[in-house]
Amino acid sequence: MGSGGENRADSARAFDLIIFDLDETLVDFEPARRLEYLANLTGLPSERIHARIWGSDFEPAAEQGAYATGDAYLAEFNARLGLQLTREQWIAARGAAMRVRPKVLELVAELKPHFELALLTNNGALLRESLPVLVPEVCALIDWRLHASCDFGARKPDPAVFTRLVGRYGVAPARALFIDDNADFIAGARRAGLVTLQFDTLEGVRARLQALGCLTTRA
């Protein structure tokens, strides 16, 4: 753990682990941009792409670990669309829909010296393997504790995904804080015994982190 000279003593840390969601928490994510990119790249109608991938059983299964590696995920992705996209093309399509939120990352950087941080996103193996390319800033801040739901055989809001994540780090659920924009996912984490904070506005999140003793009040 890091050290710091703020009014809050690290010896009385509020939490042993703070877990962040990815999409619509640390980054802006617009799925329509990904569909548009893929349609332009492949010539397939965006409706067909959506129906065969995100509107089908494929993505939920991948998020629960059905395809253990990025290569296995991509092979099934291509088979369902009759394509031969490369890993680089898939990453480029995902990246077209993502923009990091610099101010939120500044907040994460304030927490970093005092808390263990982790990431939990509902995604398959290829997204998790691609994070160093897609969001290197996030990877650096979170020290490579980068998890997709596929790592745990369950997806948010299933309480099992949260229980298994904190168990991997030997942290009691009540000593973990989970931050996500999705109310259903927040409810699932709460059922697992975690403390939760729903992301709405940056100012609101900062105020609640201060109330929880995670940040000092700015003068």
Peptide bond into 60 cis (omega under 30): no
Which 8-state DSSP code applies to residue 179? E
DSSP states along 115-132: SEEEEEES--HHHHHHHH
- Count the helix, strand and coil residues of the chain and give each as a percent rounded to the nearest 5: 50, 15, 35
Amino acid at 185: F
Signed CA dihedral, 208, 213, 215, 216: sign only: positive
178 phi and psi angles, rounded to 5 deg: -115, 130
List domains and CATH numbers for the chain.
10-29+100-211 (3.40.50.1000), 31-96 (1.10.150)
CB atoms within 10 A of CB 46: 16
Q: Whole-model pTM?
A: 0.92
Taking only the tens of pLDDT, the chain with its 219 residues reads 343 333 343 445 789 999 999 999 999 999 999 999 999 999 999 999 999 999 999 999 999 999 999 999 999 999 999 999 999 999 999 999 999 999 999 999 999 999 999 999 999 999 999 999 999 999 999 988 999 999 999 999 999 999 999 999 999 999 999 999 999 999 999 999 999 999 999 999 999 999 999 997 654
Residue 9, classified by CB atoms within 10 Å of its CB into exposed (0-12), middle (13-18) or buried (19+), is exposed
